[in-house]
A and B are shown apart, each in its own frame.
Chain A
Amino acid sequence: MSNERKLVTVTVDGVQVQVPETFTILAAGNKAGVHIPTLCYLKDVSDIGSCRVCSVEVEGASALQPACKTRVTDGMVVHTDTELVKQYRKLMLQLVLADHGLDSTNYCFSCAKNGACELQALCRELDVTESAFAPSTPAKREPVLEDNPFLAYDPNLCIRCQRCVGACNNRAHNHTLTTGKRGLRTSILAPFGPDWKSTECESCGNCAAACPTGAITEKRRREYRSWEVTRTRTTCPHCAVGCQMDLVAKDGRIVDVEPAWGPSNRGMLCVKGRSGSFDFVHAEDRLTTPLIKNAETGEFEPASWDEALDLVASKFAQIRDENGGDALAAFACSRSTNEDVYMLMKMARTVFKTNNVDNCARV
Chain B
Amino acid sequence: MALLSVAAKSSYDEKIAGVLEPFLRRIEATPPGICPISVQLSLLESSGAHTCGKCVPCRDGIPQLAAMMRRVLDCQADAETLQAMRTLAEMIRDTSDCAIGYEAGALVVEGLDAFADEYRSHIEAGACAAGVEQTVPCETRCPAHVNVPGYIALVQEGDCAGAVKMIRKDNPWPTACALICEHPCETRCRRMLIDAPLNIRGIKKYAVDNAPADTVPVPPRMPDSGRKVAVIGGGPSGMTCAYFLALMGHAVTVYEGRKKLGGMMRYGIPAYRFPRERIDEDIRAILSVGGIEVLYEHKVDAAEMKQIAEDYDAVYLAIGAQGGKSLQLEGVDAEGVMSAVQLLGRIGDDDYPDFTGKKVIVIGGGNVAMDCARTSVRAGAAEVTVAYRRRIEDMTALHEEIEGAMAEGVEMMCLQAPVRIEKDEEGKVAGLVCQPQYISAVKRGRPAPAAANKPEIRLDADIILIAVGQDIESAPFEEYGMKAERTRFCADEYLRAAGFENIFVGGDCQTGPKSAIMAIGAGKVAARNIDEFLGFNHKLDPCVDTPEPRPNVREAFGRVNVAERPARERGKDFEHIELPISEEEIMQECGRCLRCDVYGCGALEGGRIQYV
Give the interface of A toward B (CB within 8 A).
Answer: 48-53, 55, 63-64, 66, 84, 87-88, 91-92, 95-96, 98-99, 132-133, 160, 162, 181, 184-186
Q: Is the CB of A92 within 8 A of B91?
A: yes
Which residue in A49, A87, A99 is a CB contact (below 8 Å) of B60?
A99
Q: Which of B53, B54, B64, B95 contacts A63 (CB 8 A)?
A: B95
Chain A proximity of B521: nearest CB distance (Å): 42
Known: A50-B56, A91-B91, A96-B60. 17 other contacts (CB 8 A): A48-B54, A50-B54, A52-B56, A52-B57, A52-B97, A63-B95, A64-B94, A66-B97, A88-B91, A92-B57, A95-B64, A98-B64, A99-B60, A160-B59, A184-B48, A184-B59, A185-B53
B88 at interface, CB cutoff 8 A = yes
Closest beta carbon of chain A to B261's beta carbon, Å: 56
B356: CB under 8 A from chain A? no
**Interchain CA distance A51-B96 in the complex, whole Å:** 10
Say yes or no: A55 contacts B54, CB within 8 Å. no
Is there an interface contact between A55 and B95, defined as CB atoms closer than 8 Å?
yes
Whether the Cβ atoms of B53 and A186 lie closer than 8 Å is: yes
Cβ of A52 and Cβ of B55 under 8 Å apart?
yes
Q: Which residues of A contact B56 (CB under 8 A)?
A: 50-53, 92, 95-96
CB–CB B49/A184 < 8 A:
yes
Contact residues, B56-89 vs A (CB, 8 A)? 56-57, 59-61, 63-64, 84, 87-88
Minimum CB distance partner of A132 in chain B: B84
Q: Measured between alpha carbons, how far is A63 from B94 in the docked complex, in Å?
A: 5
Contact A133 B94 (CB under 8 A): no
* Interface presence of B93 (CB below 8 A): yes
Contact of A95 among B51, B60, B97 (CB under 8 A): B60
- Across the two chains, which residue of chain A brings its CB closest to B55? A50
Residue of A whose beta carbon sits closest to that of B62? A184
What is the bound-complex CA distance between A336 and B60, given in angstroms? 51
Which chain B residues have a beta carbon within 8 Å of chain A's beta carbons?
48-49, 51-57, 59-61, 63-64, 84, 87-88, 91, 93-97, 102
Q: What is the minimal beta-carbon distance from A58 to any residue of chain B, in angstroms?
A: 11
Q: With A88-B91, A91-B87, A181-B53 given, is the CB distance from A63 to B60 under 8 Å?
A: no
Q: Which residues of A contact B88 (CB under 8 A)?
A: 91
Name the residue of chain B whose CB is nearest to the CB of A95. B60
Interfacial chain A residues near B51, Cβ < 8 Å? 184
Q: Which residue on B lies nearest to A181, using beta carbons?
A: B53
A98 to B61 Cα, complex, angstroms: 10
Contacts of A63 in B (CB 8 A): 93-95, 102
- For the complex of A and B, the 9 pairs showing the least CB-CB separation, nearest first, are A186-B53, A95-B60, A55-B95, A52-B95, A133-B64, A50-B54, A64-B94, A88-B91, A63-B94
> In whole angstroms, what is the CA distance A63 to B98 when docked?
11
Question: What residues on A are CB-neighbors of B94 within 8 Å?
Answer: 55, 63-64, 84, 88
**Neighbouring B residues of A51 by C-beta, 8 Å:** 55-56
State how many angstroms separate the Cβ of B547 from the closest Cβ of chain A.
48
* CB of B98, distance to nearest CB on chain A (Å): 10
In the assembled complex, the CB of A344 is this many whole angstroms from the nearest CB of chain B, namely 41
Within 8 Å CB of B87, what residues of A?
Answer: 87, 91
Q: Interface of chain B, helix or strand or loop or mixed?
A: helix
CB distance from A324 to the nearest CB of B (A): 51
Q: Count A/B pairs, Cβ under 8 Å.
A: 69
Closest to A179 in B: B53
11 inter-chain pairs at a CB distance below 8 angstroms, sorted by A residue, are A48-B54, A49-B55, A50-B54, A50-B56, A52-B56, A91-B87, A92-B95, A95-B57, A95-B60, A95-B64, A184-B48
Residues of A within 8 A of B93 (CB): 63
**Residues of A contacting B102 in the complex (Cβ-Cβ under 8 angstroms):** 63
Q: Are B54 and A186 in touch, CB under 8 angstroms?
A: yes
User: Across the interface, which residues of B come within 8 angstroms of A48, CB to CB?
Assistant: 54
Q: Whole-angstrom distance between the alpha carbons of A55 and B56 in the complex?
A: 12
A241 to B243, CA, bound (A): 99
Task: Say how far A110's CB is from chain B's closest CB, in angstroms.
Answer: 24
Closest chain B CB from A185 CB (angstroms) = 6
**Could you tell me the distance between the alpha carbons of A184 and B101 in the complex, rounded to whole angstroms?**
13
Given the interface pairs A184-B49, A184-B51, the reply to whether A98 lies near B97 with Cβ below 8 Å is no
Instruction: Please state if A98 and B95 are interface contacts (CB–CB under 8 Å).
Output: no
Shortest distance between the CB of A183 and any CB in chain B (Å)? 9
User: Which chain B residue has the least Cβ–Cβ distance from A51?
Assistant: B56
Residue of chain A at shortest CB distance from B50: A184
B200 to chain A, nearest CB (A): 40
Q: Hey, which chain B residues are within 8 Å of A49, CB to CB?
A: 54-55, 97
Q: Which residues of chain B are near A98, meaning CB under 8 Å?
A: 60, 64
Q: How far, in whole Å, are A181 and B57 apart by their CA atoms in the complex?
A: 18
**What residues of chain A lie closer than 8 Å to B95, measured between beta carbons?**
52, 55, 63-64, 66, 88, 92
**Is B53 a contact partner of A95 (Cβ separation < 8 A)?**
no
User: In the bound complex, what is the Cα–Cα distance between A88 and B90 (angstroms)?
Assistant: 9
| Bound form: Cα–Cα A96–B53 in Å | 13
Residues of A within 8 A of B52 (CB): 186
Query: Which among B51, B52, B55, B63 has the highest number of chain A CB atoms within 10 Å?
Result: B55
Complex alpha-carbon distance, A55 and B95, angstroms: 7
Query: How distant is the Cα of A181 from the Cα of B10 in the complex, in angstroms?
Result: 12
- Chain A residues, CB < 8 A from B59: 160, 184-186
CB < 8 Å: which of A95, A162, A186 contacts B61?
Answer: A95
Give CA–CA (A48, B51) in the complex, Å. 15
Closest to B53 in A: A186
Q: When chains A and B are docked, how far (Å) is the Cα of A88 from the Cα of B55?
A: 14
A133 proximity list for chain B (CB < 8 A):
60, 64
Bound Cα distance from A66 to B54, whole angstroms: 14
Chain B positions within 8 Å of A95 at CB level = 56-57, 60-61, 64
Q: How far apart are the CA atoms of A185 and B52 in the complex, in Å?
A: 8
| Cα distance, A95 to B92, chains bound together (Å) | 11
Bound complex: CA of A178 vs CA of B55, how far in Å? 17
Question: Which of A52, A53, A87, A92 is most buried by chain B, counting CB atoms within 10 A of its CB?
Answer: A52
- A348 smallest CB distance to B (angstroms): 43
- Using Cβ atoms and an 8 Å threshold, which residues of chain A touch B57? 52, 92, 95
Identity of the chain B residue whose Cβ is nearest the Cβ of A69 in the assembled complex: B97
- Could you tell me the distance in whole angstroms from the C-beta of A188 to the nearest C-beta in chain B? 11
> A52 CA to B97 CA in the complex, in Å?
8
Nearest-Cβ distance from residue B517 to partner chain A, whole angstroms:
42
By a CB distance below 8 angstroms, the chain B residues around A181 are 53
Which single residue of chain B is at the shortest CB-CB distance from A92? B56
A323 to chain B: closest CB distance in Å? 52
Asked if B91 and A160 make an inter-chain contact with CB atoms under 8 angstroms apart, the answer reads no
Q: Which residues of B contact A91 (CB under 8 A)?
A: 87-88, 91
Interface centre among A49, A95, A96 (most CB of B within 10 A): A95
Chain B residue nearest in CB terms to A185: B53
Task: State A347–B63 Cα separation when bound (angstroms).
Answer: 71
The distance in angstroms between the C-alpha atoms of A184 and B94, with both chains bound, is 22
CB-defined contacts of A84 to chain B, threshold 8 Å: 94
Instruction: Write the nearest CB–CB distance from B510 to chain A, whole angstroms.
Output: 40
Closest B residue, CB atoms, query A162: B54
Who on chain B is nearest to A48 by CB?
B54
What's the Cα separation between A48 and B52 when bound, in Å? Answer: 13
Q: Which residue of B lies closest to A88 (CB)?
A: B91
Which one of A53, A87, A88, A184 lies within 8 Å of B53 (CB-CB)?
Answer: A184
Question: Chain B nearest CB: distance from A94 CB in Å?
Answer: 9
Q: How far is the CA of A186 from the CA of B56 in the complex (A)?
A: 12
